[in-house]
Amino acid sequence: MTNNIKRIAVFTSGGDAPGMNTAIRAVARTAIYHDLHVYGIYGGYDGMIRGDISRLELRDVGNIMQRGGTILKTARSKEFMTVEGRMKAAESLKAHDIDACVAIGGNGTFTGALVFSEEHNIPFVGLPGTIDNDLYGTDYTIGFDTAINTAMEAVDKIRDTADSHNRLFFIEVMGRHSGYIALHTAIGTGATNVFLPEVPNSIETLIGELRFAAKRHKLFNLVIVAEGNEGGNATELAAIVKEKAPEFDTKVSVIGHLQRGGSPTCSDRVLASRLGYASVEALIKGKKNVAIGIVNDHLTYTPFEDAIHKVKDLNKDLINMAQILAT
């Protein structure tokens, strides 16, 4: 060991994502393998402030990797955004002799970890746990693959009704600032069109495409909408189309939080295991204030500053492909 770390803590923060439990398991088992004491912080940064911290043994992380959500629970903490709140959190970690932390979450989680680490000189590493897949420094985030498979299965079921009734469905998926879920769902389901926060789209263009499809005797259409689309959500877009093109039997379906739940896919379990294992190895080697990811199947360490502030752009080839295959 090149670092004098004996006790580490792991916690989840922000929105839950399938695969978080798998990551917790990997962190705990890798730490125990290296004769480290590992602790779980319950309830994210709020739990850190309250001192809701317990030691994890092998039995505590058994039979959890297939479960959705997070056994450590999660929360968004307003108190942690204050200097006083972070001081309480530091005192809690000190009371348990915690030397370093593994934070599993998204942009907000990494932001809190960076500020806290700089104030109190406690090493942190971050694991990208968010279904949105919008974090810079990794090709995929923990939970993304499960979320798009859940969305795809839901859209496939909606397709049956759309086909039976010759309907136009606007289907809303998660993604306040990121179109990754919407784009992959649209490609995976053969949607007619997709509305993304990152790419301007036109209702007039959509109506033209729908009318062209009708001339080809296409009996139903699916339009995938990311919830953060600047031109409106699924309900708003459907209302505009219904007004401008009343010939279409227009319906709306919002998939919602179904996308966050459920048993993680094999891909998410493998990703979470790799990242959880790597987080402990990184702390042992003296790394700190980095987000750990996988790029082109290689492990990467991205400084929190970059992971927080740099933008992960959508693949333009995928956007072009989605448009071509939808015609």
Positions annotated as catalytic residues are: 132
Cα angle 86, 87, 89 (rounded to 5 degrees) comes to: 60
SS3 123: coil
| Cβ neighbours of 256 (radius 10 Å) | 12
Tell whether the torsion through CA atoms of 281, 287, 293 and 295 is positive or negative: negative
**Which residue type, as a one-letter code, is found at position 191?**
A
Question: Beta strand pairing status for 193-195 and 221-226?
Answer: parallel
Find all residues with CB under 8 Å of 23, minimum gap 6, and list them. Answer: 104, 127, 129, 142, 272, 273, 275, 276
Contact between 158 and 222 (Cβ < 8 Å)? yes
Find all residues with CB under 8 Å of 64, minimum gap 6, and list them. Answer: 21, 22, 24, 25, 71
Residues 273, 254: Cα–Cα separation, whole Å: 31
| Cβ neighbours of 57 (radius 10 Å) | 12
Find all residues with CB under 8 Å of 274, minimum gap 6, and list them. Answer: 26, 294, 299
Strand order in the sheet with 124-128: 53-55, 37-41, 7-12, 100-105, 124-128, 290-295, 298-303
* DSSP string of 129-172, one letter each residue: B-TT---TT-SS-BTHHHHHHHHHHHHHHHHHHHHHHT-EEEEE
